[in-house]
Amino acid sequence: MTSDKKDLEERGSGPSGVERKREAGRAKQPQWANGLRQLYDSVVDEDIPDQFKDLLSRLDAKD
């Protein structure tokens, strides 16, 4: 570890232990796992289509 990184971690500006473990875990993942995570994240971020919103509204109104 370089002295700069060590100084940052001691001051709390560097990555936490949890963040370092998460980064290490991602580094060990195969390339397809990274692609799958990107695909999942892009689907989660998509807007709900208007037709689906309308359907949900009609179903809620029946209750």
Give the pLDDT confidence of 8-62 residue by residue, as tens digits. Answer: 455 555 567 777 777 766 667 788 999 999 999 999 999 999 999 999 999 999 8
For the chain, give every domain's residue range.
3-62
What Å distances lie between residue 59 and 1, 26, 46, 49, CA to CA?
A: 58, 41, 22, 16
Cβ pair 14, 5 in contact under 8 A: yes
| pTM exceeds 0.75 | no
Structure tokens, 19: 């963040």
